[in-house]
Structure 1
Amino acid sequence: MRRICLLKLSLLIFILGIAVQHSVAQQKISGTVVDGVTGKGVPQTSIRVQGTSDGTSCDAFGRFSLTTDAQLPLELVVSAIGYKEMLVGVDTSQKHLHIALENDKNVIDAVEISRRQKYRNRNPAVDIIHQVIKNKRSNRLENQPRLSFQQYDKLQFGLVNPSEQYNKRMGSLRFFFDNVDTLTSPGNKLLTIFMQEQLSDVYSKNDPKAFKKRVKSIKQTDFDDRYVNNHNIQSYLSYLFQDIEIYDENIFLINKLFLSPIANNAPVFYKYYIADTIDTEDGRFIELNFEPRNKTDLLLSGKLRITTDGRFAVQGATLHANKEANLNWVNDITIDLYFRPNSERYMFLVRSHVDIMFGTNRNDAVYGRKTTYNYDYDFSPSFSDDIFKGAPTEVLTTAKDNEKLVHQQRPVQLSPVENRVYANVDSLNNNRTFRTMLVAGYLLAQGFYPAGPVEFGPLEYLYSRNNIEGNRIRLSGRTTLRFSEKVFIEGYLAYGTQDGAVKYFMRPTFSLNGKSVAAFPAHYLQLAVQHDIFDPGRMLGFKKGDSFFQSIRSNRPTKWMDTYAYQFKHLIEFGNHVSLQSSFIHHRRRAIGDLEFISSGDVQQDISNINTNELEFILRWAPKEKFYYRNLTRNTIIEKYPVFNLQYNRGLKGFWSGDYAFDAVRASVSKRFFLNQFGFADMTLSGGKIWGALPYPLLEMPNVFRDEDTRHEIDFSMMRSMEFVADEYIRLAFEHQLEGFILNKIPLIKKLKLREIWGGKMFYGRLSDLNNPYISKDVILFDTDADGNIMTHVFDNKVPYWEGKVGIDNIFRLLRVEYIRRLNYTGLPNVDKDRYRVSLHLNF
């Protein structure tokens, strides 16, 4: 016992001795920091001992006191927002320092802001934001001469608080619902359904500007690809959860554009308050709170941490969407960004976290989450400029096969719950109950019934009706990956109860690059043969406008041609999203029903057939395009990037009974314009010219709905079938969705979260004398309807066709109501001047 007491006494004496020695070595320094002009104390001034981590800050009167181990003489670094930084020497003769700071050119008054006071547009917080905006360009990391780093992305999607009834009623699926995360979202249970991890090498340079992200390893949950296109899940979630760049004017998230709190015009839409000053190992920062002036607009609220070293850079940000904002099915959005300084004090992003809770206003139903870590930064890397060739984001062909790299190099390990997600999804794919659920879901969503190597559908094409065939029954289908990923076949057989004729279509596609015909970049050869009835102006295709819903529309076709068509097509896509399609197409068309091909030179002459052979070349450029696909059908994910098409057709007369020689050039461009708080607008512009004497069914008919490229579709809903024709034309479509910008500001109405829509469509075309049946004797006459009225018309000189619309979207979060009006050419026979249209739209 005595030994223990003696040991304690010895330790106490030793510790006291060190403490006395330490206290003798410490220096105590105090003083006051004042404004050099007014003489008033400068609160919250940062005082730091040069070359050490010792420091403090001034109180509300500018007074400070600090203790340091540094030996005298020493230097103090004195800095405050709105003042020039100073170095102050301290020697043994100085007991109390009086430091006068010189105003910087960017003066920020030391005024305390209280949110209980009336907000002023000019306050210290706003002054700081103006400095952040002024210095944005120099603070963007992309302005570094050269830069490279590693990036790890983790994308998750799943259910929030799944009902305990699942465990009781799901039988063999019960195991899946036991794997819930109760830690990362306090108060919630998260059940992850989809998860993807990927590792990437990222490169950038400033002169000239270039960026490259090479995804080298991907690990993700894959559902049975017979029913689920895993690529589309990943593409959609990546589209909703795009990388956050705080220095951009807008933050794009869940298909919405939120104005950044440091955008150039942000002070017009946001209020700012100084909340605190924070000292960390990375330096001293000012914390600003911000909130929208109008909380119903697509704006954010939250906190920013700004550096005090004169750069006015963002060190961290926490952003939230407002519950009052005009959003659907979104209960909460949280964005956390964290930056670290490099040796030159440039802030670089090390971690971003985006968390979204989807559901109704009362309950969360689904969650989405994206976590990104950037690490191993190199600010003076050596790499060849060849690395920037191709698309800005490139997924290496070995990425899926190299999934072990994610496991080896992920900077943060998965939790036990996350680790089990992959195995659980694999088990689901082998579960009979789950497969049955997928079959039912696939039939409802895609309209196809899967049956091993083939699938039958689409369901909406099973039955339709027209005035020639009467009731039309169609059996159609296509092969699946279980048949082959390098050979894809689609086709149908159709029968009309009124005409008693069988129609058919067959189109096989063969890969030429040893990869899937659906994968990007594709390279394939395609053959097609089709015998069916077509409305004038339509081209061959698997979906030719004979679905049930199109057969009941008011402006459905009534004139038909019995057509035999053959096509030989070659398509090659390049990594920069340029594609070239080359085709040879043969058509034999015969008028049926009450359609007649009568010569304009001799009304007694009935032309039996219109036969053509043509070469077709289509050059398409879709920079940075992302898309959803199923087999060969692709739908572009609409972002800010335009899509261009250039097409040339050459008619071959005399070959294979071809009757006509002609040349045709068509071009089109479509683009979405993001208009900040005014929503967004979509515009499509196209035009073309045809040279040669041709019968009008071979010319441009604006009413024909083409689906070759979904980005360039323009559907004139108030135009009758075959109503106009031209051999030189311009099309324009414009639609502006204001996202509630006006209605959000009207009391009471704003609670309904309605959204405004307006737009217009224009077609202007001219018909040359060579193709005008009233002038030329080498073409065919325009046909008439049952009342003897001419159905096809030539445009008046310099008078384009217009139709416009206004509408309200987001009614009950589901419906869109539009009023569509035909603005001119209303005196033509059997035309409707206006129409109301109700459609189902599900939008965030």
Structure 2
Amino acid sequence: MRIGRILCLLFLGLLSFLGNNSILYAQSKISGKIIAKDTRKPLAGATILCLADNNATSTDSLGNFSINVKAGTHEVQIRAMGYKELRRSFTTEDTSLMIALEHESNTLEAISITHRAKYRNRGNKAVELIDLVVKHKNQNRLKGKDSLSFEQYDKLKFGMVNPKPIFKMGLSELNFFFDNVDTLQYPDKKLLTIFMEESNAKVYNQRNPAKYKKQIYSQKKTEFDKRYINNHNIQSYLNYVFQPIDVYDESIFILNKQFLSPIADNGKHFYKYYIVDTIFNKEGYFIQLAFEPRNTTDLLFKGKLQVSMDGSYAVKQAFLSIDKQANLNWVNQGDLRFHYRKNEEGVMLLDTAHAFISFGTKRGDAVFADRLSVHTDYELPAAIPSGTFQGAPVEILASAEQTPPKRAVDLNPFEQATYSNIEQLNHKGSFKTLLAVGYLIAQGYHNLGKFELGPLEYLYSRNNIEGNRFRIGGRSTQELTDKAYVEAYAAYGTDDQRWKYYVSTAVSLNGKSVVTFPAHYLEATVQNDIMEPGQNLSFLKGDSFFRSIRKNRPTKWFDMQGYQLQHVIEFGNHISLTTGFTHQDRHTVGDLLLINSGNPDELLTQITTNEAHVDLRWAPNEKFYYRNLTRRSIIERYPVFNVKYTKSIDGFWGSSYAYDKLAVAASKRLFLNQLGFMDMKLSGGKIWGTLPYTLLELPNVKQPDDRHTIDFSMMNPMEFAADEYIKFSVFHQMQGFLFNKIPLLKRLNLREIWGANMFYGRMNDKNNPYLSDKVVEFDKNADGEVLTYVLNDKAPYWEGSVGIDNILNCLRVEYVKRLTYEQLPRVDQDRFRVSININF
């Protein structure tokens, strides 16, 4: 009996042992990596669900996953936004799976067709969910946090799609470059990368007061021959049109256009939303939404959103695609992906943002651009070191180019070969020839090594004094030195049979390049040429071939001898200070007559001035393209301000004029979401002193390029003069917002533009030749009609324009009308203006 009990207990103990061990050993796991079948790149945020027990997990930023399951064989469901669902059986013996998902290309189209007729916002659960996403947007977006910091890895690529054999014809020594074609990223595209940039940065953000800082501590990029290619400008342009993006932004800025985000405050007025799926995994419960444009021609997306249902209504994933019918040129494909991951506090943090765009015609792709941003090592809230926000918001450390990149995602073999291939390409003679020809066509200069000749469009022009004008000019290059710069020209007129010249040089004062930002240099200029009254010294003074065939080209001139010395210093916060002295000796030529207002028998034939000036410029967060000393701002949402004070120095070097000038100017671009963008310029000034009107403000005189310049296209040269003035300009590009709503017409992808320019000025009695005998009379034309007018106590001068842009993707037609002072003699009241304007 006792033995039986013992055996029974042993049996029960054995069962208990086996049972407990079965529990221990039944728990196993399946692990692996999820990738895209076409690109072979990891998919972050893919959901892996074991159908037997509804246990789920998701992949990390590198596509890796691990899920606990009972020992044996299990049917597993794998889903990722934008990809086809996959079901497959795995065993617990599978510990290093590599699972590839295919793109889901037709799902959105099917949804659109199925629901198009019966869609409405009222009572739509998808719209109610979007309202909650919008309501919680500020608390979920990273910019809404009190402070944070993270590491950012960026990879930007630009290149050719499916390069054709024609590019190899006669260029056999370049075959090695065209053979480095990436066939991994997209199965239907062969990508040849021409430009690639990688960078690592530490990013800091603070809400109150709002401050942002990005410190780039590692940077590597391809570079072409600096004689022909300004690598900085390529980098600046690509980083401008492919800026860092976030689905939480009201509008996503890409390709110089604003695409309304699907979670914008007013998104439901432009998008349709549908609930298409529910997702459960270890991170929680999510609802997947599909969205599409109400009007496919507007600048909108179609795609999917994955929204967290834990009460935060935060976006977990987003896939956005540019609609092929959007009012956009040259874009055949545009895909944006966002992935957010939840931290330990449950906050969704942007993990990965990826944008891929291919460009071309309807016949096929020609070029592509690709940008990948990976964010890691979040600190929330962040301990931000003191002094971090000083200087420019984006700062490239001096050691960045010497620091190897830390890659969040490995380069594929084709990407790895890009750097060495570009370096090898630069040493090929046939490639140098191609660059030289392209440089001549694009920039108008022919490079000779240490110097270059040009610009091409200034070789010939024509005016009423010189007749046929021939000019040869040039400038030094950085091959000579980057610590100094020289530009010069010589010109000859066949009618006046006289040589003119210009020489300018700048020398660095800080031991650094004279042309790169921030610069510090001393500049000296000498010029002897015929100039419009009111015009300043300049290498490009407007005597190009195209300027000489304008209808309202100048006809009154001074023969001018000028000298200028300037000191220019730029600071890292984009404040610049220019101080200088200018001497100008002007002699009347041709039919320009300056008759003494107190004695009609006396002519003023010479005007000599000495001016000292201080010019303060502030352009917060400015980015620009540059070539030598010429800067061209990349117009973003930040304003630009100028204040310039000029003091005459009379009593020596032949000058007897005593006066002071103050000029202020501001310009800003307003981004208006779906209504496009509007450029506004405002300037004004005052002149103290008794002066001939040619030294006063002449609003339609061509000046050196400046962001504040307003071109009054319907105003004649020297038509108005003032010693107190204000100028205003507005130009609105609506990007097709109205035309997109008109059936049939919207297929043409036309875009609306309108603008207006205003000038108002007053003239003090002592400068008014009708009231003062100490100045000169306004000049007259051959018929005795006065050419210059005063607006004292009269209405401002206005001109307006309306037009259609993007005709055949390249033409702009405007109707320009003079709105005031139409009764003045020898003025055009209106005209049509046709120009070439190529844009996305």
CA distance in 1 between partners of 2:325 and 2:696 (Å): 52
CA distance in 2 between partners of 1:242 and 1:657 (Å): 54
5+ residue gaps, structure 1, are 1-12, 27-47, 57-66, 70-112
> Which letter does structure 2 place at the counterpart of 1:719?
M
> Which letter does structure 2 place at the counterpart of 1:697?
T
Look up the match of 1:793.
Answer: 789
> Which letter does structure 1 place at the counterpart of 2:735?
E
DSSP 3-state at the match of 1:385: coil
In the alignment of these two chains, the number of paired residues is: 750
Residue 181 (structure 1) aligned with residue 178 (structure 2):
no
Alignment of 1:751-766 (within 5 A): 751-766=747-762
DSSP 3-state at the match of 2:115: coil
Look up the match of 1:118.
Answer: 118
How far did 1:385 drift?
A: 3.0
DSSP 3-state at the match of 2:235: helix
Residue 625 (structure 1) aligned with residue 622 (structure 2):
yes
> Which letter does structure 1 place at the counterpart of 2:412?
S
1:499-545 per-position Cα deviation (integer Å, ceiling 9, x unaligned): 11111110000111111111111111100011111111111100111
Residue 579 (structure 1) aligned with residue 576 (structure 2):
yes
DSSP 3-state at the match of 1:712: coil
CA distance in 2 between partners of 1:167 and 1:593 (Å): 57
CA distance in 1 between partners of 2:200 and 2:751 (Å): 40
How far did 1:746 drift?
A: 1.2
How far did 1:414 drift?
A: 0.9
- Aligned partner of 2:731 among 731, 735, 738: 735
Look up the match of 1:5.
Answer: none
Look up the match of 2:674.
Answer: 677
Alignment of 1:172-251 (within 5 A): 172-251=173-252
CA distance in 2 between partners of 1:615 and 1:317 (Å): 58
Look up the match of 2:38.
Answer: none
Look up the match of 2:587.
Answer: 590
CA distance in 1 between partners of 2:258 and 2:144 (Å): 24
Look up the match of 1:716.
Answer: 712
> Which letter does structure 2 place at the counterpart of 1:835?
R
Residue 687 (structure 1) aligned with residue 688 (structure 2):
no
How far did 1:240 drift?
A: 0.8
DSSP 3-state at the match of 2:614: strand
Cα 1:125–1:501 shift into 2, 3 Å = same
> Which letter does structure 2 place at the counterpart of 1:821?
K
How far did 1:383 drift?
A: 3.1
Does the Cα contact within 8 Å between 1:141 and 1:346 map onto a contact in 2? no
CA distance in 2 between partners of 1:319 and 1:157 (Å): 20
Residue 332 (structure 1) aligned with residue 327 (structure 2):
no
DSSP 3-state at the match of 1:203: strand
Residue 698 (structure 1) aligned with residue 699 (structure 2):
no
Cα 1:457–1:376 shift into 2, 3 Å = same
CA distance in 2 between partners of 1:700 and 1:336 (Å): 53
1:81-138 per-position Cα deviation (integer Å, ceiling 9, x unaligned): xxxxxxxxxxxxxxxxxxxxxxxxxxxxxxxx97377112031111111111111111
CA distance in 1 between partners of 2:734 and 2:116 (Å): 33
Does the Cα contact within 8 Å between 2:528 and 2:562 map onto a contact in 1? yes
How far did 1:717 drift?
A: 0.9
- State the TM-score, normalizing by the size of structure 2: 0.87
How far did 1:17 drift?
A: 5.0
DSSP 3-state at the match of 1:228: coil
Look up the match of 2:33.
Answer: none
CA distance in 2 between partners of 1:644 and 1:489 (Å): 28
1:215-246 per-position Cα deviation (integer Å, ceiling 9, x unaligned): 11111110001000000000000011011121
CA distance in 2 between partners of 1:23 and 1:171 (Å): 66
Cα 1:629–1:18 shift into 2, 3 Å = farther
1:677-734 per-position Cα deviation (integer Å, ceiling 9, x unaligned): 111111111111111101111100011122342x111111111111111111111111
Look up the match of 1:843.
Answer: 839
How far did 1:775 drift?
A: 0.7
- State the TM-score, normalizing by the size of structure 1: 0.86
Residue 524 (structure 1) aligned with residue 521 (structure 2):
yes
Does the Cα contact within 8 Å between 1:705 and 1:714 map onto a contact in 2? no
5+ residue gaps, structure 2, are 1-13, 28-48, 58-67, 71-112
1:327-386 per-position Cα deviation (integer Å, ceiling 9, x unaligned): 001111100001111111111111110000111123111000000111122224433231
- Aligned partner of 1:566 among 563, 568, 574: 563
Look up the match of 1:289.
Answer: 290
CA distance in 1 between partners of 2:318 and 2:556 (Å): 62
DSSP 3-state at the match of 1:388: coil
CA distance in 2 between partners of 1:366 and 1:604 (Å): 69
Does the Cα contact within 8 Å between 1:610 and 1:659 map onto a contact in 2? no
CA distance in 2 between partners of 1:791 and 1:498 (Å): 25
Does the Cα contact within 8 Å between 1:150 and 1:201 map onto a contact in 2? yes
How far did 1:608 drift?
A: 2.9
CA distance in 2 between partners of 1:757 and 1:334 (Å): 28
> Which letter does structure 2 place at the counterpart of 1:405?
P
Cα 1:242–1:660 shift into 2, 3 Å = same
How far did 1:68 drift?
A: 11
CA distance in 2 between partners of 1:817 and 1:801 (Å): 23
Of 191-200 and 375-384, deviating more is 375-384
DSSP 3-state at the match of 1:274: strand
CA distance in 1 between partners of 2:398 and 2:22 (Å): 65
Of 652-661 and 620-629, deviating more is 652-661
Does the Cα contact within 8 Å between 2:292 and 2:303 map onto a contact in 1? yes
> Which letter does structure 2 place at the counterpart of 1:843?
N
CA distance in 2 between partners of 1:395 and 1:142 (Å): 22
CA distance in 2 between partners of 1:17 and 1:329 (Å): 69
> Which letter does structure 1 place at the counterpart of 2:481?
S
Cα 1:143–1:691 shift into 2, 3 Å = same
> Which letter does structure 2 place at the counterpart of 1:266?
G
Residue 821 (structure 1) aligned with residue 817 (structure 2):
yes
DSSP 3-state at the match of 2:470: strand
How far did 1:552 drift?
A: 1.1
CA distance in 2 between partners of 1:533 and 1:629 (Å): 28
Look up the match of 1:59.
Answer: none
> Which letter does structure 2 place at the counterpart of 1:120?
R
CA distance in 1 between partners of 2:445 and 2:266 (Å): 49
CA distance in 1 between partners of 2:577 and 2:24 (Å): 80
Cα 1:179–1:24 shift into 2, 3 Å = closer
> Which letter does structure 1 place at the counterpart of 2:300?
L
How far did 1:606 drift?
A: 1.7
CA distance in 2 between partners of 1:699 and 1:168 (Å): 60
DSSP 3-state at the match of 2:604: coil
CA distance in 1 between partners of 2:777 and 2:609 (Å): 19
Cα 1:114–1:752 shift into 2, 3 Å = closer
Look up the match of 1:80.
Answer: none
DSSP 3-state at the match of 1:137: helix
How far did 1:168 drift?
A: 5.3
Look up the match of 2:309.
Answer: 308
- Aligned partner of 1:452 among 449, 453, 457: 449
- Aligned partner of 1:470 among 467, 484, 492: 467
Of 589-598 and 137-146, deviating more is 137-146
Residue 774 (structure 1) aligned with residue 775 (structure 2):
no
How far did 1:611 drift?
A: 0.7
CA distance in 2 between partners of 1:210 and 1:535 (Å): 46
- Aligned partner of 1:540 among 521, 537, 541: 537
Does the Cα contact within 8 Å between 1:461 and 1:547 map onto a contact in 2? yes
Does the Cα contact within 8 Å between 2:536 and 2:704 map onto a contact in 1? no
1:185-240 per-position Cα deviation (integer Å, ceiling 9, x unaligned): 12110000000111111112233221100111111110001000000000000011
How far did 1:158 drift?
A: 0.4
Look up the match of 1:32.
Answer: none
Look up the match of 1:480.
Answer: 477
Cα 1:309–1:506 shift into 2, 3 Å = same
CA distance in 2 between partners of 1:329 and 1:569 (Å): 45
Look up the match of 1:41.
Answer: none
How far did 1:666 drift?
A: 0.8
Does the Cα contact within 8 Å between 1:166 and 1:174 map onto a contact in 2? no
DSSP 3-state at the match of 1:549: helix
Does the Cα contact within 8 Å between 1:589 and 1:610 map onto a contact in 2? yes
